[in-house]
Structure 1
């Protein structure tokens, strides 16, 4: 008699702990997916990683001319180009991560249908690969600080926490959208202009201090508000760290991260059928 061994992969009872264990097992795949994401963006590009500088810098110059010089938007007493660029470094990472992560599952449909691996690696690799652009933007920001002779205060110690919250929120939203995009392909088309609109709901070109006091608590529910203002305060000594905004944003970010990854995990088993 011939016996065939059948292996059935089933989700564990604790999906979060199981996901962590699988990510550890497949850490090499995650590494190579991150490297592939970086190479894919800059392959056969004349300027290469310089685009990570050109994009936010050009946008900052335009914002400085329009909002800083013509409209005279407040910049909390700092040079507007420094104010705007510090916001763009964070916003570029968030918007680019959403775009890449939301398309990550659909773009790798052929890979999903052929081999098993933790699908969460796809949005996770998108989020990690964009950290290179963030680091490059951070280096340019440091150049601006040197030019304007600005010395960061002890608030710079908050920088790792700010980056962690930014990463959790981006990954939570990205995981949710990537699972949603498998079922509804128009998510990709809607996201392109939704991200542009959302930028003006964050203190990128204006400080959060212009928001009326009675709406500050509601405004802080957007995690990017605390992240952007916290990022600025980490480098600009004249700005106080926004503990209230950042604290609320951090709690919302953790909730979004858990909710987004849980939604991804719930629909993960259907990806191969509809991707």
Structure 2
């Protein structure tokens, strides 16, 4: 019929709703734009640019090597302490920065959210995945350190992409919870630094999980970053701590965080434009 105009009505959902992943895929070009925007904003008007991707883990590794490695005599599973710590700091930094930026991403994109409709899940997803560039730069430094110490990766390195996916899933899962809560309660941004700090010391970055005996070690891996950190060391440095049970428990926990966070995010999504 000529002159017929298709009308699409957008109405708020009620109760628990589906994730609508097809809609998220339909807006994938917007997701690419948001990722690129976050990358540019991160290094805009900075003197060192992408150098900050290396400075933070490297300086932390130096401090840890002096105080924990040399003075504290913390064991490092037979690996030189500097590379032992740095191999853990690379995924940890990606996780922590992704969680920190994604938790405030909705509030930071308030003008965009209030003006146009698009899948709100795109915003925290973009904030987390944009950190892969920083991760890649820091990872190149890690490979250089491995060459310096004469450490060659074993066949376990084939698991590295899976470990990176686990890191992304963990960071995104926590970020979905916190970003949705941050819209409702702005206290989240004040609690976040303490949460990251506590999570850091609850993760075997400066120390090995081998200090714990079973079954406490497996229970300890309910913190999904335990499996990530020990998995990275095992895959790249060939540590003797077999992370099999830890990886299983950490993966299940990370998956639960992601699924639960996604549904909770979608439940509150209808209120974002009004509250933010």
- The TM-score by the shorter chain falls in which range? over 0.9
In structure 2, how many angstroms separate the alpha carbons of the residues matched to 1:197 and 1:254? 21
Q: What is the rounded CA distance, in whole Å, between the counterparts of 2:54 and 2:66 in structure 1?
A: 18
Q: Paired residue for 2:18, among 15, 19, 33?
A: 15
The residue number in structure 1 matching 2:111 is 110
Aligned to 1:158: 159
Gap regions ≥5 residues in structure 1? none
CA contact (8 A) 1:226 1:246 kept: yes
* Residue 273 of structure 2: aligned partner: 272
Aligned equivalent of 1:217: 218
Counterparts of 2:254 and 2:25 in 1: how far apart (Å)? 23
Which residue is 2:100 aligned to? 99
Is the 8 Å Cα contact of residues 64 and 206 (structure 2) preserved in structure 1?
yes
Q: Distance in 2 between matches of 1:170 and 1:49?
A: 21
Aligned mates of 2:126, 2:176 — CA distance in 1? 11
Task: Map 1:23-34; keep pairs closer than 5 Å.
Answer: 23-34=24-35
Runs of 4+ in 1 over 4 A off after TM superposition: 3-6, 10-14
TM-score for the superposition, normalised by structure 1: 0.94
Q: Distance in 2 between matches of 1:14 and 1:109?
A: 23
> How far off is 1:127 after superposition?
0.7
Show structure 2 runs of 5+ residues with no match: none
Is 1:77 the counterpart of 2:78 in the alignment? Answer: yes
User: Which residue is equivalent to 1:44?
Assistant: 45
Q: Residue 240 of structure 1: CA displacement?
A: 4.6
In the alignment, the residues of structure 1 paired with residue 210 and residue 101 of structure 2 have an alpha-carbon distance, to the nearest angstrom, of 32
CA distance in 2, matches of 1:237, 1:72: 21
Q: Equivalent residue for 2:120?
A: 119
Q: 1:226 to 1:238 in 2, by over 3 A?
A: closer
Computed over aligned residues only, the root mean square deviation of the Cα atoms, in angstroms, reads 1.7
**Aligned residue for 2:139?**
138
Q: Which has the higher contact order (CA 8 A, sep 6+)?
A: 2
Secondary structure of 1:213's aligned partner: coil
Q: Which residue of 2 aligns with 1:228?
A: 229
Spell out, residue by residue over 1:158-199, the C-alpha distance to the aligned partner (whole angstroms, 9 max, x if none).
101111111111111101100000000010011012211210
Determine helix, strand or coil for the equivalent of 1:15: coil
TM-score, length of structure 2 as denominator length:
0.94
Q: What is the distance in 1 between the residues matched to 2:179 and 2:117?
A: 18
How far residue 14 of structure 1 moved from its aligned partner, in angstroms, is: 6.7
